[in-house]
Structure 1
């Protein structure tokens, strides 16, 4: 059963130490100086001291301490952005602070997937309090959108939804942040001004446009095709105009974007080409706080996001996989066939929710698995719904010093979104291309469906047992990684590195990553032959790919990993090792606390 994340059960963690607490009233009390015989005074004071020490120890165990050396981890698609996140950890920031700063950096260096014109979803799990909050800042449907028309194409002006990214990040920071807002944005302003090198992922995304040259007539072409030629990996670029925008947001907050203090003329230009978004839609945009949905499976609790993001499909797929009898010895051909079938069937369930076939389901946070079995679990000849556009986005995973875990996915829809770019370098999303047609009586969806999937996994029996934070813009990728973790007991790194497939709902098409230059093992010939025998059509999927970035912690052992498919590098921040007493006279140089994990994780001694 998928259950709402209701509140909290109190528990102890391995990092809990003493925090200041007002044990006594501020009034003076003279219990140790009152009248009576000496024995009574001594025994009374001893009793009070015993209680005080006991209470102090309980608070020490439960609350933790601000004196703890900052440590934790962050995994993103770009090493420089993981480094920015690690610097925020080192400054005492919360996991939400780290996620906000990392996303700000991604907006600068990966404009093809992330930007103020995009949106996202963030899952925040407080492991000490056992509470989970989902912050939904996905694109909203404009108030004047005409639902009678068919969904727009990905580069049509009508595809632009009301962006939620900046307002969502600000909302998360106000609720869970520790450091000042401007401190989180400052590193990204510096990167935009000093410049950076184009990543392989950005070049791969440009290649998919099938246009290596451009006349430079539009702002989009001028930026991505300088002097008429496509940007390539390693090219050096600066974004002074975008730094100017971030300066304004840093000083005045996200509202300066939503009040259209700048780039108003670009909104008018989009409207002239058919966009239905209005200035009032920006002002009216609201972030939604939602309960998570969760599932208990093999002594693990999987926390994720509800519709309209991919979490509901993830849990539906895991429920279907539970009946596939997957074990550590399951043959590869059976494993991948099970993954493909579960993703296809759960996709139908996602569309069922997102299209409002039963409008009440959209707001349901408790989903009976019997419904899944009856409607979507069995074999059927019924055609599956239309395929959503392939989603692109950037996943960010964070664990902080105080056992706050954050998984977030942000994006523009497809790569480059609608391709409408402003003079400040803002690309607007094309999320309305995935807006479901109204199926329920009188039901009008407020937000389009995305496959953004944030996940936190905890151990049911041991509060300090294995905990996993991972995120992916593609729910099928998340299904396969979580399936490897739960059903095959794979470590996180192995689960991410396993060869994955991308499942299409149309024509039984299965796409296999072309990873000849990566460390991922190829899909073997016998697996390919078996899948084709099951009426699947196999094709090569060319980069860029949807990555799964994750972090795992078991007791105090921390491992972080950025998926090689996304090209990122995870960073860990760990306290330096104290020298032994005999080494104190001639201590060696103190190693930097930051640990880079571009390949196998570097473990601290």
Structure 2
């Protein structure tokens, strides 16, 4: 006998429920008798199982041994809310929407109902083209932009995605966040840090420390109404009348709010090392970047050497630095990404954000912050990404989202070319854009090799107290699913 011991962690793959504690290594005796006995036992077992399934199976997804799913966010409770939705029989769209609503509660410094974003949905079994629900690019228009306010589009975008592809009733998707806002949530270190930077934020939330419990009663009331009646209570109902304190300005904005609808279109596709990469059409620069990287023709034997890392870094930076006009990047933008997969091989990325931390810093009477309208920052840097092997149906595939094209290049290279596991790929140190310059991480946990830093002399070091960009990822190889929430965001992925 050979004993096989295993352990489970966040980054461990998730697959069918198999647990073979012992392996038979040798059998001594009459081989024919042994074979006949095995076939007899197997036949009886199969027959019994089929009879029991016919008699007792109710056809619900939870009864299938092959069920598995995962949700990854920047806040552990939000990941858990998403995975509980999956356990109830919801799909990846349900889970991702529920987790995103949760993030608007617990992370008002980087997302919120007043912001915007993108949702990408893809089903790998159907092999259909991924769709994108866009509630970012049309949120700065007409009267809203004149008053420097973004249309609060997040709830409308989430509800639209749920109507298109969701499974569970809408109220079951929203209710967990109602309870979280009403009962209170644990303040993250990042949220407490952001609040402490500006006295205006402390006026909104009070002086709070990491670990404190924060309750948001007005937001809870709004979400409860949304759960029961749908999003129209905000866009064309009683809560829309409370959106602004200025009634004259509100009267001017209400017609546009009533008529707001997200855009829906097909994702753009490019090829990268025999993998299809899907992304938002507005990020046209991504194609030239991955083409430049593929032209290096890096072999798997050379991916782990420093010289290759330097060559990759220079290629990525050179391919985007000139046409990008870095000064257009807004330093203050914040975002959060939620990703989910389910047993039906549906992959979802929802990436939402604000033009500045806490948006306008103006709290509406319905419990959330409105966002600043800025024509130089329409959240077009937010990009959901889904990829899969072009040849093998059960080959590598995955989902993530970020607001930085350089990070996209680094993650695709690490996962597809270097073939790192999901935790290693996510936690690998990065370089990216910040305002009008390139920066590298200078955190002890995410420190780039000294030789690479010296070679990339156009990059400045990012201070350790700066906000690091979090990218949550789920990948799948064959039937093995692995998920990881970026330590930079402070969350943990949740799976079952």
For the aligned pair, the TM-score class normalised by the smaller chain equals 0.7 to 0.9
User: Structure 1: which 5+ residue stretches go unaligned?
Assistant: 1-13, 16-63, 148-156, 352-382, 436-447, 574-605
User: Residue in 2 aligned with 1:496?
Assistant: 426
Matched, 1:243 2:239: no
Q: Is the 8 A contact 1:248 1:256 kept in 2?
A: yes
Aligned equivalent of 1:164, options 125, 129, 153 = 153
CA–CA distance in structure 2, aligned partners of residues 505 and 340 of structure 1: 19
Alpha-carbon offset, residue 525 of structure 1:
2.1
The structure 2 residue matched to 1:68, chosen from 64, 69, 84, is: 64
Report the TM-score when normalising by structure 1: 0.66
Aligned partner (choices 259, 264, 267) of residue 244 of structure 2: 267
1:395-441 CA-to-partner distances (Å, cap 9, x unmatched) read 01111011111011011223211212113321112252525xxxxxx
Q: For residue 549 of structure 1, what is the aligned residue in structure 2?
A: 472
CA distance in 2, matches of 1:276, 1:286: 19
Look up the match of 1:312.
Answer: 284
Q: Structure 2: where are the runs of 5+ without partners?
A: 1-14, 17-58
In the alignment, what sits opposite 2:440? 512
Per the alignment, do residues 456 and 317 of structure 1 end up closer, same or farther by CA in structure 2, a change over 3 Å counting?
same
User: What do residues 217-275 of structure 1 show as CA deviations (whole Å, max 9, x unaligned)?
Assistant: x7x54332x2xx3x221111111111101011111111111125226355353986xx9
Aligned 8 A contact 1:301 1:457 in 2: yes
| TM-score (normalizing by structure 2) | 0.80
Residue aligned with 1:301, SS? strand
Q: Find the structure with the greater CA-based Rg.
A: 1
Counterparts of 2:240 and 2:295, CA distance in 1: 53
In structure 2, the residue matched to 1:101 is: 98
CA shift digits 1:474-508 (9 cap, x unpaired): 333222111222332322222111100122473xx
Equivalent residue in structure 2 for 1:335, among 296, 305, 309:
309
Aligned-residue Cα RMSD (Å) equals 2.8
Describe the SS at the equivalent of 1:278.
helix
State how 1:450-599 maps to structure 2 within 5 Å.
450-504=380-434, 506=436, 509-516=437-444, 518=445, 520=446, 522-532=447-457, 535-540=458-463, 542-573=465-496
Q: How many positions carry a matched residue from both structures?
A: 434
Q: Report how far residue 291 of structure 1 moved.
A: 0.7
Within 5 Å, give how 1:354-373 maps onto structure 2: none
2:294 alignment counterpart? 322
Report the Cα offset of residue 121 of structure 1: 0.3
Deviations for 1:156-190, whole angstroms, at most 9, x for unmatched residues? Answer: x62x2212211111111111111000001111111
Q: Would the alpha carbon gap of residues 552 and 288 (structure 1) be closer, same or farther in structure 2, given more than 3 Å must change?
A: same
- Contact kept, 8 Å, 1:343 with 1:479, in 2: the verdict is no
User: 1:153 maps to what in 2?
Assistant: none
- Secondary structure at 1:267 match in 2: coil
Is the contact between residue 271 and residue 277 of structure 1 (CA under 8 Å) also seen in structure 2? yes
Q: Is the 8 A contact 1:95 1:406 kept in 2?
A: yes
TM-superposed CA distance for 1:561, in Å, is: 0.4
| Equivalent-residue separation in structure 1 for 2:252 and 2:429 (angstroms) | 41
| Distance change (3 Å), C-alpha of 1:239 and 1:201 | same
2:83 is aligned to 86
1:223 aligns with 2:204: yes
Determine if the alignment matches structure 1 residue 417 to structure 2 residue 394.
no
- What is the aligned partner in structure 1 of residue 114 from structure 2? 117
The separation in 2 between residues aligned to 1:146 and 1:237, in whole angstroms, is 32
Pairwise CA distance, 1:568: 0.9
How far off its partner does 1:129 sit? 0.9
8 Å CA contact retained: 1:321, 1:339: no
Alignment of 1:386-405 (within 5 A): 386-405=328-347
Listed one character per residue, the Cα deviations across residues 127-150 of structure 1 (whole Å, up to 9, x for unaligned) are 111111111111522224779xxx
**CA shift digits 1:345-388 (9 cap, x unpaired):** 43665x6xxxxxxxxxxxxxxxxxxxxxxxxxxxxxxx765333
Cα deviation, residue 539, structure 1: 4.2
CA distance in 2, matches of 1:114, 1:422: 15
Q: Which residue of 2 aligns with 1:187?
A: 176
